[in-house]
Structure 1
């Protein structure tokens, strides 16, 4: 099996002296460079929950996902971001053909983040379990850099602060810039932009 051409990598992180490489096909490869091998020492599948906080399934034809790896207080987290490909003026993900003129003007790229799910690696079972609270922490996305900081002033909010990282669509119209920014509350699934 050729690991280099099978699927593209979308995120990597060093964690506990190993390299974790997230692929766009939903697998996470673990590379231990202390071992004399040119192949991953472990390959884990990631099967995300695809329901929102109201129990509704994110329709795959109206949503895309982006995943990120981040270390938090000694744990390895996998953050799954759900993005409505076309979102109308009421905030609902719709088919592109359903957008009216009021939804597309002045918008050029009407995609919008609609939610996040966070998973923690349970290495003893080689699985990912869903995280319902960040504890005393907050996750920030700034441009294409992901950082995780201790929570000091945002108590009780359980937030994920995010910025637009959809560079392909933003670059289609450089005057538009990034619009998909906001705060997502992991406790109740609400967003503020």
Structure 2
């Protein structure tokens, strides 16, 4: 299709369509959440025949990594603008922007979460810069980060919060926990953290089992029990003045807002008429296991309704593996 995403809605599910044999991205498909209609955009000719991996979406831009050269770059799907970032930065698992570089090209910066072995660090590059700079670290692991333009502040989510807000209802021998951080719509002094509980091996009937329970006496191969998101818990804290020392309290709901999380910049946005309010929209970002063929990598995405704790599907993809996985992207309302 030659259509472009419509200005009547701002949130889309972006699905890079790759060649089954070469894994090279051929075009980008944007699904409108209001009418479930796809809009396909052809990638730039100079990006064809290149193995790309999407490493984020932020401020209406997509972030990609050239897996051959480990070179990250930004791509605006509306204007088709491409911005190269400093080269040779391997291990990026998420990239967010401090500001929209098309609106503030002189002051914007890119912040990368770089995961190496069992640790992760934060680094940044300024607009037009030639190098990445590591941010001072007080933790061995950072899960997510978000920039507040109003206060020119970067907030980061580290291991200490996981230890503080553990939940015995989701034991770590059956579940993995993934953490996200977003600015609260309540104002610049508040942030929202969400923990996502992923069952490592989930049967067709929804029961989370141990890996050994997938083995049978009458089949040559184990039962297919893909990982699946089984629950969420959301917290808020007042971090006015920086330092992150506010008390964390449970969030029961989002009112007329919805949360977008996954490989994208985590955000709480007005639900308007194209999304369910008081819900969490999530995509698959379990990078440690997403490439396991037998576990249907890329399929762990949907909608979690905060009111009745119910899961719903966004789209029903019949393919066994979605590669690359989907990403949420929020486009400016002026486009």
Which of the five TM-score ranges fits, normalised by the shorter chain? 0.7 to 0.9
Query: In 1, distance between residues paired with 2:295 and 2:229?
Result: 20
Q: Match for residue 31 of structure 1?
A: none
Structure 2 CA distance for partners of 1:157 and 1:95, relative to 1, 3 Å = same
Unaligned runs of 5+ in 2: 1-135, 314-335
Find the aligned partners of 1:132 and 1:155 in 2 and give their Cα distance.
18
Decide which structure has the larger Cα Rg and report it: 2
Matched, 1:13 2:146: yes
Asked if the contact 1:122/1:129 (under 8 Å) is kept, the reply is no
Cα deviation, 1:26-74, whole Å, max 9, x if unaligned, reads 34xxxxxxxxxxxxxxxxx8622526xxxxx212210111111011312
What is the aligned partner in structure 1 of residue 13 from structure 2? none
1:158 matches 2:278? yes
The Cα of 1:182 is off from its aligned counterpart by 1.1
Shift in CA distance, 17/104, structure 1 to aligned 2, threshold 3 Å: farther
Alignment of 1:97-116 (within 5 A): 97-100=212-215, 107=224, 110-116=226-232
Q: Could you tell me which of 280, 289, 293 is aligned with 1:173?
A: 293
- Residue 26 (str. 1) matches residue 26 (str. 2): no
Aligned length: 166
Residues 8 and 127 (structure 1), Cα distance of their counterparts in 2 relative to 1, 3 Å cut: same
Quick one: distance in 1 between partners of 2:193 and 2:137? 22
Q: Deviations over 1:168-193 (max 9, x none)?
A: 21124399440101111112222123
* CA contact 1:104–1:110 (8 Å) conserved in 2: no
> What secondary structure, in the 3-state scheme, does the structure 2 residue paired with 1:65 have?
strand
1:76 deviates by 1.0
Alpha carbon RMSD of aligned pairs, Å?
3.0
Aligned residue in 2 for 1:185:
305
Over 3 Å off, 4+ runs: 3-6, 100-105, 142-145, 154-157, 172-177
Higher mean C-alpha displacement, 115-124 vs 70-79: 115-124
Q: 1:183 to 1:90 in 2, by over 3 A?
A: same
SS at structure 2 position matched to 1:170: coil
**2:259–2:267: 8 Å Cα contact kept in structure 1?**
yes
The one of 57, 62, 65 equivalent to 2:177 is 65
